Amino acid sequence: MMTQLGNKKNVKIISLAVAGVFVVSIAGYALMSMGDVANAAPASNIGVVDQQQVVSSNTALSSQYQQKMMETADAMQKDFDEQSKNMSEADKEKLFSTMQEQFNQKRQAIEKDIQNKVDGAVKDVASKKGLSLVVDKNAVIYGGTDITKDVSTTLDKSVSAASGAASSAQK
């Protein structure tokens, strides 16, 4: 089982699985954070946003996520290989289990960071448009101002500015 960990194909499969979990977790988070649309005041300005579309359409954000996940997976694989050289199979399995938990915690932290960026873009657009409530588009059957494109644009600018600043700092 442990020899399979070193296989680059398995690392790619794990990365794809992690990316799938990311998309599902963002969608689940969006559904859980919607609020009660039925009790919204009829006179309020309500916006709707398709968070899943915002995340999937932002290639820079997706690239950052994939890069962070690959770096984390590679670092943890090297760490596992180093630590497990002289271990028994039982100890290797314990170490693997521990490292898998650590990986999941790091994945959740990365996903939370991305969700915070999306939330920030939603808040910026809602504030500029004078919206008092923004809900996920999947929870709305009818009505509301669709701000998905505006949120995507704001997020693109934010991510591009952050990427530019990071690459300038590295030079």
CATH number (domain holding residue 92): 3.30.910.20
The confidence band for 141, taking pLDDT boundaries of 50, 70 and 90, is confident
pLDDT at position 42 is 47
Residue 28 gets the label, from left (phi > 0), alpha (psi -120 to 50) or beta, of: alpha
Q: List pLDDT tens digits, range 46-69.
A: 999 998 888 888 888 888 888 999
The confidence band for 112, taking pLDDT boundaries of 50, 70 and 90, is very high
More confident residue, 124 or 40: 124
Q: Is the dihedral of CA 19, 21, 27, 32 positive or negative?
A: negative
Determine the average pLDDT of the residues in 100-111: 91
pLDDT at position 102 is 92
pLDDT at position 12 is 66
Per-position b or e across 34-59, b if 16+ CB within 10 A of its CB = beebeebeeeeebbbbbbbebbeebe
The confidence band for 19, taking pLDDT boundaries of 50, 70 and 90, is low
- Could you give the CA distance from residue 122 to residue 126 in angstroms, rounded to a whole number? 6
Determine the average pLDDT of the residues in 61-89: 89
Count the domains in the chain. Answer: 1
- The pLDDT of residue 36 is above 90: no
Determine the average pLDDT of the residues in 19-45: 59
Task: Name the residue range of residue 85's domain.
Answer: 2-34+42-170
